[in-house]
Amino acid sequence: MPTILIVDDDRGIQTLLRDVLADAGFQAVTVGTINHALDALTEHQPEVIVLDLSLPDSDESLLRRVVASSSESRLLVLSGSVQIHERARSLGADASLAKPFDLDAFVTLVTRLCESQVRREDVGPAA
């Protein structure tokens, strides 16, 4: 069962995404900060990291530490920002979704990221 790490400070979003992913056959681990994400990456080896860019402790250096610490994981960036796709690309993300997003499209994208064999090359930003 693929593991997905959800990094979002909104507990409602954490619960919703965890439940949707569980229904689709994934195991989801949820955390609310970048620092907790770094801790979780030492315990888990997620296939995909779902990372909200609007976290209380999200500065560029911590975001880059998550990316560097998860070289085997695919990275899906979430944000309500209009400039999400450019910021996601600058972090080396495999894909990005602007909030609000369709849950079926989210699950499809996570599934696609899990199935992709080459990190950060064969999956582009989502529209």
Q: pLDDT of 18-40, one tens digit each?
A: 999 999 999 999 999 988 999 99
* pLDDT surpasses 70 at 6: yes
Residue type, 95: A
Domain boundaries, the chain: 3-114
If one looks up domain 3-114 in CATH, what number appears? Answer: 3.40.50.2300
Residue (of 30, 46, 24) closest to 109 by Cα position: 24
* Six token digits for residue 111: 């599934």
CA distance 6 to 3: 10
pTM, two decimals, is 0.84
Band (pLDDT 50/70/90 cuts) for residue 59 is: low
Q: What is the pLDDT of residue 125?
A: 45
* Six token digits for residue 16: 């919703």
Band (pLDDT 50/70/90 cuts) for residue 11 is: very high
